[in-house]
Chain A
Amino acid sequence: MKSNILPAIRLTLVCLLFFSGIYTFLIWGFAQLAPNQGKGEIITQNGKTYYANIGQSFTEDRYFYSRPSAVDYNAAGSGGSNKGPTNPDYLATVQARIDTFLVHNPEVAKSEIPSELVTASGSGLDPNISVHAAKVQSKRIAKIRNINETTVNQLIEQQTEKPLLGLFGTEKINVLKLNLSLDNLK
């Protein structure tokens, strides 16, 4: 073992220099050419800057709700609920979310509520909802903002992000972008 230790230490230091140092620097260098110099994609509107991919808490009725979050959209301490599928406390929480949703959206039938609107995401920062989850909220938005429901639905269609190449993955909506376009209407 003794004869191995010295080369082991020296080789480790070389690896440290190369993989922690040079590799990181190389990727960092290329990332300077990426959107926003690799500091995360941003959107600016009305003088405010937002991270496009980091979901935000939307709980006011005049905005499309984002998904529930186990960490209250804390982007410095993200996480999921880690509740098991049969946990009674968890099921009670979901039931409460359904009830709250129905109070705020009296036009919607219970069977129309998609589960992602009442379940927490894995990161607690999910920026997306499904198209269905947006449409189920359009009556409320139209009423509270005093605009035509078809206008709201048109916005939803404009903001729909198709699956990759139209073929792979889910169809979704970025809640932040949808709500910003809603604020832009007027």
Chain B
Amino acid sequence: MNTEILGVILMYGLVVLLAIPLGRYIGKVFNYENTLLDRIFNPLDKLFFKLGGIDPTLEMNWKQHLMALLSINLVWFIISMLVLTNMAWLPLNPDSNPSMSPDLAFNTSVSFVTNTNLQHYSGESGLSYLGQLILMLWQFISAGTGIAICAVVFIAMKERTTQTLGNYYSLFVRSCTRILFPIAVVVALVLAFNGVPMTMEGKDTMITVQNDTVQVSRGPVAAFVAIKQLGTNGGGFYGPNSTHPFENSNYLTNMAETMSIFLIPIAMVFAMGFVLRRRKLAWTIFGVMTIGFLLLCIPSIVSEMNGNHAIAEMGISQPMGSMEGKEVRFGSAASAYWAVNTTCTSNGSVNAMHDSMTPLTGMFTLLGMMINSFYGGVGVGFLNFYIFIILAVFISGLMVGRTPEFLGKKIEAKEMKIAMIIALLHPLLILAGTALSSYLYAGNPTLYASWLNNPGYHGFSEMLYEFSSSSANNGSGFEGLGDNTPFWNISCGLVMLLARYLPIIGPVAIAGILASKKYIPESAGTLKTDTATFGLMVFGVISLVAALAFFPALTLGPIAEYFSLFK
């Protein structure tokens, strides 16, 4: 069999094999059970709480959890703004890079604090090493935010009636130190020993074989890239992200980085099964997510390996597939695989330029972000899926004439309203944003000429992609878009804010309200949620929401472009 395809199969198989035990470990961390790493982390966590002035045993209800989350996120945003607008004179700036403009700093701060990592700057020239290290901090703790709040929802889903759902700070610190940190160290070491730099020295000068003088950017890349991949962050150290040979130097580092994208999102599903002692439900959810992922992944790989029809017409051969924007050391299969991984989860790192991919792959990456719950971002991916479960429970309840119940709790009007608002928020933000930018562009194409790098349908896709990426808290881009302008910085910044916090508040509110309701033990009249039938129902709801909301926009962009190839 083709070695490129074998590589993809290996990456997927390994990540599932690793995610199952990791899920059990994460479950233990959430349940405060003993683990092997306690010797190191018990004293470390104590130190965190002591220096932070926090009582980790204080129980919180769902509203207190959200207040704690929102206030600490606000603090991060303010610190981030201060650092990014003052980098020029602060220390650790060997390449003398400038500070950011206020609108770019706003976009970048929101982007990293919300776990999006949309980048309207280029790392080599737009950030000092201090800026990079601060952004790396957000990469750890914004991922920890998502994992911790997901743990709160798991605790709320347990079979009992309760108001209190653990302590937010405690879950947050445990997520960062016990889950993200040890895996990041392993991945960073794999990268550092395979050619990814880890140095505080600035640019080096190299005279090439043909006697050109070239400046080579370096930096503390290995540490940064590891957490960028693991925390579904995705913001690259260098402008072109993991296509850069110093960010991703060979097929082994590519495997480590690709697997890091999916590892924690898949493990979270198994962690839920462990915490709730409902392994079958975990496998049902995993099954739905996997089918959805494969439906996006397989056609993308086929499409990229077949190459670009317009290039084939020129009469040259495409043995490696469509190679514009791709690296030879990864090939088109591993690039398409990464592209779907990074968009299904809210990672957003790339190892090939999505803007240059064939139209259908472009569409599948867009769909991954529009659905945003096939595995999804660390923690928040599960929360998105939770909304779809609530919708599916309600719809199936109506269909078979049973009271809608999920895990022994009745779902009533209030929860449904919240779920509907959250489910519709995502299409609203994407489509309204794209409509606004298209309206502006169409009204004055000369004034906004610098926005689009490509004409026609593809230009529309660039705008659609940017808003999808912002709203999905993804962070990848059709990077041809000239996006460092006040319009894009501010509009994408606002979309990222709304699309991060509302979809956290909604599910936590639902779970919190449900937790305080009376627990009804399962009976013959209960709709079973851990069956293939229910899985199919959830899949149907997801497809309906995505297809009905986004199909018209996709028709104007990638689908029209695809058919224009064969005129």
Contacts and interface: CB of A to CB of B under 8 A. Distances in A.
User: Do A and B interact?
Assistant: yes
Interface of A: 1, 4-16, 18-20, 23-24, 26-28, 30-31, 34-35, 37-41, 48-60, 63, 67, 73-88, 90-91, 94-95, 98, 110-116, 118-130, 132, 163-164, 167-172, 176, 179-180, 183
25 contacts: A5-B75, A7-B54, A8-B75, A10-B54, A11-B72, A19-B140, A23-B185, A27-B192, A40-B246, A50-B208, A52-B195, A54-B245, A77-B122, A85-B322, A111-B315, A113-B317, A115-B323, A120-B324, A121-B323, A121-B327, A128-B327, A128-B329, A167-B3, A167-B6, A169-B7
A61 B181 CA distance: 49
Given A4-B72, A20-B137, A111 B206 contact: no
A64 B149 CA distance: 54
A34 B198 contact: yes
Nearest to B7: A168
Interface in B181-204: 181, 184-185, 188-189, 192-193, 195, 197-201, 203-204
Interface in B33-53: 47-48, 51-53
Contact of B328 (A79, A91, A120, A172): A172
9 nearest A-B pairs in the assembled complex, by CB-CB distance: A122-B243, A82-B480, A84-B458, A31-B198, A11-B52, A168-B7, A169-B251, A4-B71, A76-B215
A76 B353 contact: no
Contacts of A84: 355-356, 453-454, 458, 461, 480, 561
Interface of B: 3-4, 6-7, 10, 47-48, 51-54, 67-68, 70-72, 74-76, 79, 122, 124-125, 133-134, 136-137, 140-141, 169, 173, 176-177, 181, 184-185, 188-189, 192-193, 195, 197-201, 203-204, 206-210, 212, 214-218, 220, 222-223, 226-227, 238-240, 243-246, 249-252, 254-255, 307-308, 310-311, 314-320, 322-331, 334, 350-353, 355-359, 453-458, 461, 478-480, 561, 564-565
B136 A19 contact: yes
Given A85-B359, A167-B7, 20 more contacts: A8-B75, A15-B176, A23-B184, A35-B195, A38-B192, A38-B198, A39-B218, A40-B204, A54-B216, A78-B217, A85-B310, A85-B324, A85-B358, A85-B565, A115-B318, A122-B350, A127-B329, A164-B7, A169-B254, A170-B3
Contact of A14 (B52, B222, B246, B455): B52
Nearest to B1: A167
A54 B246 contact: yes
A71 to B, nearest CB: 9
Nearest to A24: B223
Contacts, number: 367
A20 B125 CA distance: 20
B240 A123 contact: yes
A93 B67 CA distance: 54
A34 B308 CA distance: 40
A173 to B, nearest CB: 8
Best-surrounded residue of A12, A20, A123 (most CB of chain B within 10 A) = A123
Nearest to A59: B210
B226 to A, nearest CB: 8
Given A9-B75, A11-B169, A27-B185, A119 B239 contact: no
A76 B203 contact: yes
Given A34-B198, A164-B7, A170 B330 contact: yes
B206 A49 contact: yes
B124 A78 contact: yes
